[in-house]
Structures are given as structure tokens and as C-alpha cells.
């Protein structure tokens, strides 16, 4: 549904995109995550036909967004991280105005307006002025605006930015509903815990390159291979050597706050590894299974590519 290959973009001496590859399957809710300056917004603007790259390819639904931008725009609904609203318009006027830009007027525009307001739970606010809406309501109204022409693909740049916890939950549930309606959604966000619950696929970008891409489960690493962390009171280097030499143990990483590793055999395998360290006379201060969250996976992936 969305395909990017070797995408490149420079701002002066800064390389914002450095040969980026990205694939979003049809019907996916794709979380596009990375640190500030990683290239997320630049990528979305290229896909939205608002920015020309310096090289590479980008397609949406098989349409080349660089060579056929007008056709691509009919397939895309775009919601930027910063957006403007017409404060002196009422909610219903705001949506009817955008419907008119897509050639819909009269009863067709009214029907579309009412359906979208119901979808984003703003029907009770139809006669309010846009400026009177809360930040969360304005976000939902702008999402409705992006849906006016019934696009197949939604490009959402930080859709929960600046929202309070309740508004973020409302936005997340709305995006889930759009996913159930068959929309393909690309979401750029820093709120990683919510992406884990929302998304079907995730891509991690760092310094303009894709460093990990796949399903959420793949990014979290297989559940049967959890990560363990061991903290010892002394002889940390010797403990790390013991772990690396032990069959069935891999991914050993030593840091100031402890030693992380993966092992075969689940909890029994981990207990056996712990016994090996204790039998070597190394005092253990803490031993635990790491929480397998999207945040921890993101930190591991980005740290390994710095």
C-alpha cells in the first residue's frame, strides 16, 4: 500500500533521509517511530506530495507520488503535526467548506458532514465555533477533514501531540475504528506505549535510515525469548564472560547498571544461568526479566545503531 525505496533528502549539510526504505502493508496501522530529527516528518511530507526528495522512490497504492502527485492526493488523507483551523467558522461550516473543495455541495455535503461528525463524536458540537473546541476536539475535527474525500491511506504526523490522557484515549479508539473500516494508517508518534496497543506494524527510523521494521510482535522480540537483567556486586566482567561462554545464551550486553542477555529454556533456563553465576562465587544483587515493552525495544534498536 505504501512503499518507499532509497529515499533521500538534504537540508543544506544535514541529511534528513539517508536511503530510507519503508513498506506499509494494505490495511495496516503502522507506527513510525524515532527520535526528534530522525526524519519522520520529512518522510510523511514527501508521501503527502508536499516536499520533493533529492532521490529515491515513493508510492501509495501503486501511484508514484513524485510523478503523479495529483492522483496520489486523491488517495491520501494528511493530518500534519501543526495545523490551522478557521476559528470564525462553526464546526459544520468548517467541514462543508472542505467538502466543497472536493466538489461536494448541497445534500451530498450535508450527508458527508453529518456522517463524519458522528464518526469523530462531534455531532453534539456541530453548531459550536471551532475556536471554542478543546485541543482534543480540534484534533478530531482535523481528522474528519482529512477523511472528507474518503482516502484509502491516512498519514498522521503526531496525532496525539499536546492531548491530555483522556483525549489520547479517544484518539486511539477513533484510529482503531478507522483501521476496522479498512483504512491503511501511517502514524508518526513519540507515545510509544499507545502505539504498542494500537499498531499492527512498526518501523524504527534513526538518522534518516530504517533500522528495524516489522510487526509489533517482531519488534518486541519473540515472547519465548525474553530479556533478563543481572546485577552483580563485583566481578561484572567475569560474569559477562561466563554468560557469553554458556551454551544457549546470546545477546549479552554489559553496562553500568547490569548485564542483559537472552537464553533458551524460558524461566528454567534463566534460573540455570543464575545458578552458574552464583556457583562461580559472584554475588548477585538483582536478577529479573525485563519488561518487553515497545519503549525498551525502541531504545535497544536505536542504541545499537548509534
Per-residue CA distances from 36 to 8, 15, 90 (Å): 18, 14, 35
Residue/partner pairs of 302-305 with CB below 8 Å, 24 or more apart: 302/34, 302/35, 302/204, 302/206, 302/211, 304/211, 305/206, 305/207, 305/209, 305/211
Residue position matching grid coordinates 502493508: 25
Give the pLDDT score at 221.
Answer: 54
pTM: 0.76
Q: Where are the domains of the chain?
A: 2-75+151-215, 227-289
Give the pLDDT score at 223.
Answer: 42
pLDDT tens per residue, range 121-132? 999 999 999 999
The 10 Å Cβ neighbour count of residue 82 is 9
CATH, range 2-75+151-215 = 3.40.50.300
The 10 Å Cβ neighbour count of residue 267 is 11
Instruction: Report the DSSP beta bridge partners of residue 253.
Output: 260
Contact yes or no for 201/216 (Cβ under 8 A) = yes
Fold match between 2-75+151-215 and 227-289? no
What is the CATH topology of the domain spanning 227-289? Alpha-Beta Plaits (3.30.70)
Sheet-wide strand order for 29-33: 76-79, 153-157, 184-188, 29-33, 201-206, 209-215
20-22-24 Cα angle (round to 5): 165
pLDDT tens per residue, range 194-238? 677 789 999 989 899 998 888 887 776 544 467 789 999 999 999
Main-chain phi, psi angles of 127, to 5 degrees: -100, 5
Give the pLDDT score at 302.
Answer: 59
Polymer length of the chain: 306
**Which residues, given as ranges, of the chain have pLDDT below 50?**
222-224
Amino acid at each position: 500500500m505504501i512503499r518507499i525505496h532509497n529515499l533521500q533528502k538534504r537540508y543544506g549539510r544535514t541529511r534528513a533521509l539517508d536511503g530510507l526504505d519503508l513498506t506499509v502493508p494494505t490495511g495496516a496501522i503502522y507506527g513510525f517511530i524515532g527520535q526528534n530529527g530522525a526524519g519522520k516528518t520529512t518522510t510523511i511530507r514527501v508521501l503527502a506530495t508536499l516536499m520533493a526528495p533529492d532521490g529515491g522512490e515513493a508510492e501509495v497504492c501503486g501511484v508514484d507520488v513524485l510523478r503523479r502527485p495529483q492522483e496520489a492526493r486523491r488517495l491520501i488523507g494528511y493530518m500534519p503535526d501543526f495545523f490551522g483551523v478557521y476559528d470564525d467558522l462553526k464546526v459544520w461550516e468548517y467541514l462543508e467548506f472542505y467538502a466543497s473543495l472536493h466538489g461536494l455541495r448541497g445534500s451530498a455535503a450535508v450527508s458527508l458532514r453529518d456522517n463524519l461528525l458522528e464518526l469523530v463524536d462531534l455531532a453534539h458540537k456541530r453548531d459550536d465555533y471551532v475556536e471554542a473546541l478543546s485541543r482534543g476536539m480540534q484534533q478530531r475535527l482535523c481528522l474528519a477533514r482529512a477523511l472528507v474525500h474518503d482516502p484509502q491511506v491516512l498519514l498522521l504526523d503526531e496525532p496525539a501531540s499536546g492531548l491530555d490522557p483522556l483525549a489520547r484515549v479517544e484518539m486511539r479508539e477513533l484510529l482503531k475504528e478507522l483501521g476496522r473500516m479498512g483504512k491503511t494508517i501511517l502514524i508518526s508518534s513519540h507515545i510509544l506505549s499507545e502505539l504498542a496497543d494500537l499498531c499492527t506494524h512498526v518501523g524504527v527510523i534513526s538518522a534518516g535510515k530504517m533500522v528495524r521494521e516489522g510487526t509489533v510482535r517482531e519488534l518486541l522480540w519473540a515472547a519465548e525469548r525474553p530479556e533478563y537483567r543481572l546485577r552483580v556486586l563485583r566481578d561484572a566482567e567475569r560474569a559477562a564472560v561466563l554468560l557469553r561462554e554458556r551454551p544457549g545464551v546470546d545477546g549479552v550486553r554489559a553496562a553500568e547498571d547490569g548485564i542483559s542477555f537472552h537464553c533458551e529454556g524460558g524461566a528454567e533456563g534463566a534460573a540455570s544461568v543464575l545458578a552458574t553465576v552464583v556457583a562461580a562465587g559472584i554475588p548477585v544483587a538483582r536478577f529479573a526479566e525485563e519488561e518487553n515493552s515497545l519503549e525498551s525495544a525502541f531504545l535497544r534498536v536505536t542504541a545499537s545503531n548509534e
